Structure 1
Amino acid sequence: MLKLSFLLLLMPFTLFAQEKMVKTKINDNITASLPTNFYPMSAEDLAQRYPSVRKPLAAYTNESRFVDFSINISATQWRPSDIEIAKDFFKASLINLYDRVDMIKEGIEEINGRQYMVFEFTSQINGEKYSLTNTGPVRKYIYIQYLIQKGKTIVFSFNCPVQLQQKWQATAGEIMTSLKIKGSL
């Protein structure tokens, strides 16, 4: 009985334990530490989650397929000297994508010798009130970073349902600060 009580006390702490990470080579120029249970998305997952003409450079998910990390190249082109203006532009774009955005963190951070525009927030897209399916709002936790490199903007994005934020927030930060870029894309 004492063992069971002890295990029940520890259970909340193990639910939010940080994921075990492994250094992952995304391509010849990008590495990141990703959770060991992340794997590259299938073609079907990519088509469903990123329905765009421009397919991501890379996209990973976990076994439940609720938690994702992706790398994309934005259509917008900026010079490194425009980083402040670009940050404001991307913030406005993010806010316009959702019905509600609650910003946790925003700014410009140096990570492994490179300047990133960083946004961490929760988002909400309201359900359609008069639709036949009558779905409720969709809420997500999102950690996104933009890197300007040789006229390209590289977008690193982590997201999961807001209900999983506490479990994954520290891991998202660890992924983003582990990014290493060599050369140019």
Structure 2
Amino acid sequence: MSKLLIFLLFMPIIVHGQEKLVKTKISDEITVSLPKNFYAMSQSDMAQRYPSVRKPVGAYTNDARMVDFSVNISATQWRESDVEIAKEFFKASLVNLYDRVNFIQEDIKVINNRKFIVFEFESRIEGDRLSLDKKEPIRKYTYIQYLIMNGKTLVFSFNSPVQLKGQWQPVVPEIMNSVKVKNGI
């Protein structure tokens, strides 16, 4: 019993230690440190996972293709001085995307000398209650950052199934704190 207890106490350290981060160039202006087993999504993967008129600047997934990191440019335009108003706008947008949202954190943080709007949350999308095909709800753990810069809004998003939250929650802040964006974006 005591060996099991010791293992369970150190398991987060062991899991966290397996996620070696490697500096990754997303574009000429953007770098981030991602787990070494993440790789760039194919065009078909990107189209399937991010169906939008605006394809991501970069999208990465893990070997199991269950955990994603992406960078996109939002269609919304804000001034850097409007970060507080933008935060409330983005929060309302997130709430409208899902049936349920449980915010773990919502903040404005300075990362590498830039102000980021940060949201960490669990979400749930219910299946169609009127359908005969009763699907299980889709539950996700998400950590998302918005950077307003030069009239553009960059969106950095990390997503995993909620069942993997315990594995990823200690690692994601390291990933997001490693984001670097050059002035030329």
Band the TM-score falls in, shorter-chain normalisation: over 0.9
C-alpha separation in 1, matches of 2:132 and 2:42: 30
User: Which ranges of structure 2 fall in alignment gaps of 5 or more residues?
Assistant: none
1:184 Cα shift? 2.5
Pairing 1:63–2:70 present: no
C-alpha separation in 2, matches of 1:46 and 1:109: 29
- AA partner of residue 16 (structure 1): V
CA contact (8 A) 2:72 2:154 kept: yes
C-alpha separation in 2, matches of 1:67 and 1:20: 15
1:10 aligned residue (7, 20, 30) = 7
Displaced runs of 4 or more, over 2 A: 5-12, 14-18
**Equivalence for 2:178:** 178
C-alpha separation in 2, matches of 1:139 and 1:166: 14
CA contact (8 A) 1:38 1:63 kept: yes
CA contact (8 A) 2:71 2:156 kept: yes
- AA partner of residue 36 (structure 2): T
CA contact (8 A) 2:16 2:171 kept: no
Q: 1:129-149: CA deviations, max 9, x gaps?
A: 222331011100000000001
Aligned residues: 181
Q: Normalized against structure 1, the TM-score is what?
A: 0.92
Q: Secondary structure at the match of 1:170?
A: coil
- AA partner of residue 71 (structure 1): V
Q: CA RMSD for the aligned pairs?
A: 1.7
**Equivalence for 1:157:** 157
1:170 Cα shift? 1.5
Q: Normalized against structure 2, the TM-score is what?
A: 0.92
